[in-house]
Structure 1
Amino acid sequence: MKAFNKITLVIMLISMLVLSACNGDAGNGSAEEKKYEIAGILMQSDVEWFKQIQLGMEKAAKDYDVSLKIGNSNLDLAEESNLIDTYSSQGMDAIVMSAIDSSSSTQAIKRAMEKNVTVINYNTNVTKDVMQYFVGIDNFELGAQAGRILVDYVNEHLNGEAKLGMVTLSMFEVGKDRERGFLSEVEKAPGIEIVSKQDANGPENGMSVAETMIQANPDMNVMWAANGGTTMGVVQGIISKGLQDQIKFFGTDMDVQTGNALLDSSNPYQAVSTQDPEKIGYQSVEAAVKVLKGEEVESEIIVDLDVFTKEDTEKVQQYVEKYSNI
């Protein structure tokens, strides 16, 4: 009887050890969460703005412990479509992208969604029937912010009166929004007269347009440009005419070149109304992770704007030092 009891006890102990080991394995398995795989698509990987987008994406991927793969469409719709299809076939959980075209980009996005891939659009919109989530800025407010800065400068330094030249971007919807926002503030100032308004896109075009506007309006003393690709061209146009002391410039979208212009006391660049691409990149990946985890996410996430001025040299210097080597 004692022998039987000993055998029974041994069997019970072995059973308990086996169950304990099984439970331990099960516990570890349930504790391990799926490591999500996210693909980020840039429009132009060699452009400073998108380099900052990538920095933000990479920081979010590290903070949220997800796998991140970066691709570059290089403003090519065929390449963008190929990247989306490739990432979908590879089983990516989400694609974070700035669509090249609001309508032409949608077919590839639809194919991804049909494979249960979450798509987060940042910076640019696509048609509403396709777009699930958007992360970006309010372009009307970006223009309005610039308008307020310019009006304040005119009131403080030019006795409330100015002849204004506007370098616009009406060929794009974002440019129209920025222009409307800018005018919503400038038109409140009775002493500011708009003497010229022309479209430009890119530094060379911006410089040419600025020189033409200056030639036709010799009394012009303030200028504004609606996009970052054009601003430094306009500044060079002012300098080429030797009017950097007469014409003060206000721009859109910060970069290192703009930062150096703001730090140069002889440069006509006074202030820039800007978005924060690093934050946009971060919040885009963050939104993708939250959607994948089943958390509630707003369909439109508006990222805060920023301002850099000639007076705040410390802030400008910090920016230049941070992004000079990306």
Structure 2
Amino acid sequence: MKKTSFKWVGLSVLLIFTLALSACGIKKEPAASPASGSAGETPKTEAVTGPLSGKRVALIMEFNTGTFSQQYVQGVKEEIAKFGGELTTFVADNDKAKMVSLLDSAINQKFDVILTDHGDSLLEPGVKKAVEQKIPVVVFDAAISVPGATVLSQDDQKMAELTLEQMKKDINGKGNIVKVWVAGFAPMERRQIAYGAFLKDNPEIKEIATFGSAQNPALDTQAKMEAILKQYPKGEITAVWAAWDEFAKGAARAIQQAGRDEIKVYGIDMSDEDLQMIQDPKNPWVASAAVDPTDIGRVQVRYAYQKLHGDQTEDAVVLNPVYVQREALPDKQISTSELSEYVKGWGGSTQGIKDWMSEYGITAK
């Protein structure tokens, strides 16, 4: 009887520990070999050997909402797989304080590498602590300034400018527009700078409504856009400018369902789901400016491994966006992995690649 009791106690403790990890948004997964398909595929595992193989990598995400995030994570997984590492993801579910706690947890667990996705300056003490402990840190899309940590970002102002200027051209420089965005996120704050300058330079373009929420962004946007469409009947809204693709999805769905085909949507960021909507001639979402999200993940990992290798790395790395519009795309449905055939500059970034990485099958060719 005693032996049986101890067995059940042990199983109970294991179950409680497993549930606790799940509740904290922690997901541990073995390294996977690169895949050329969609983010939903599970690549096969391959053994990788080399002086940098076997490293434990923590990815700490503020949120993992939408297909952009899924493809970004896929890029992280693929590149870590090439180096033979092991990835553990920590998701804060849009809770910045929780993200700080997860960062501290990763430091205390002595991960070999720490990557962060979004967040804000609240992360700075933790990032500084990690750097002081010689843990390589590469930040994506957060306004953080810590010597020794590399901050990776998209050229957010340029993305905003690309979409706003095309919108201006399409509406002949005048009209009423709706803006969807949310404060408190470094990339959207940067996009807002370009938006503010644009409105100042184009007084005949009027903002008549603005809203946005990071919680369930696509659904929230759709509901609020439906209300705005009722408030402003046909002819009173010319276009919608969305500072994030999740916002663009919601706005486009509301407009399409309402049959308001006079309104066009312009967004930022790109995923396979976004591309499918933009290619649909009946969809109001006609264009977006973006960096390949899979590339973002790959480049972030490369800079982390540069640090592990002892290379000198830049404090700031900026990824150049491209403009994707329906007119440039084929009639047949394509994925973002095929987008480079139609949009110059999309995908296949060689940023962060060093000659020594050829040992791991990573080359600029």
Structure with the greater alpha carbon radius of gyration: 1
Name 2:256's counterpart in structure 1.
239
Alpha-carbon distance in 1 for matches of 2:318, 2:80: 20
Distance 1:188 1:125, change over 3 A: closer
Name 1:144's counterpart in structure 2.
161
Q: CA deviation at 1:123?
A: 2.1
Q: CA deviation at 1:121?
A: 0.8
Assess if the C-alpha contact under 8 Å between 1:200 and 1:206 holds in 2: yes
Distance 1:49 1:196, change over 3 A: same
TM-score (norm 2): 0.67
Assess if the C-alpha contact under 8 Å between 1:198 and 1:209 holds in 2: no
Q: Aligned with 1:54: secondary structure?
A: helix
Name 1:217's counterpart in structure 2.
232
Alpha-carbon distance in 2 for matches of 1:270, 1:186: 21
Q: CA deviation at 1:46?
A: 6.5
Alpha-carbon distance in 1 for matches of 2:118, 2:323: 26
Q: CA deviation at 1:316?
A: 8.7
Counterpart of 2:322 (choices 306, 321, 324) is 306
Name 1:50's counterpart in structure 2.
69
| 1:106-125 map, 5 Å | 106-125=124-143
Name 2:220's counterpart in structure 1.
205
Counterpart of 1:256 (choices 272, 277, 294) is 272
Name structure 1 gaps, 5 residues minimum.
1-31
Q: CA deviation at 1:36?
A: 6.1
Match of 1:200, as an amino acid?
G
More helix by share: 1
Matched, 1:176 2:189: yes
Q: CA deviation at 1:174?
A: 3.1
Match of 2:187, as an amino acid?
V
Q: Aligned with 1:134: secondary structure?
A: strand
TM-score (norm 1): 0.74
Distance 1:163 1:241, change over 3 A: same
Matched, 1:196 2:208: yes
Q: CA deviation at 1:271?
A: 0.6
Q: After superposition, what is the alpha-carbon deviation per residue over 1:235-273, rounded to whole angstroms, capped at 9, x for unaligned?
A: 1222243212x1111112223332222122111111112
Distance 1:79 1:221, change over 3 A: closer
Q: CA deviation at 1:60?
A: 2.4
Q: After superposition, what is the alpha-carbon deviation per residue over 1:112-132, rounded to whole angstroms, capped at 9, x for unaligned?
A: 334221111112233x24772
Q: CA deviation at 1:291?
A: 1.8
Q: After superposition, what is the alpha-carbon deviation per residue over 1:25-66, rounded to whole angstroms, capped at 9, x for unaligned?
A: xxxxxxx73536141414245642222222222332344x24
| 1:265-280 map, 5 Å | 265-280=281-296
Give the count of matched residue pairs. 283
Alpha-carbon distance in 2 for matches of 1:171, 1:101: 8
Match of 1:60, as an amino acid?
E
Structure 1 stretch displaced more, 306-315 or 219-228: 306-315
Counterpart of 1:61 (choices 53, 56, 80) is 80
Assess if the C-alpha contact under 8 Å between 2:265 and 2:284 holds in 1: yes
Name structure 2 gaps, 5 residues minimum.
1-49, 340-365
Name 2:300's counterpart in structure 1.
284
Q: After superposition, what is the alpha-carbon deviation per residue over 1:130-166, rounded to whole angstroms, capped at 9, x for unaligned?
A: 77210121222221121122123224xxxx4433222
| RMSD, aligned α-carbons | 3.0
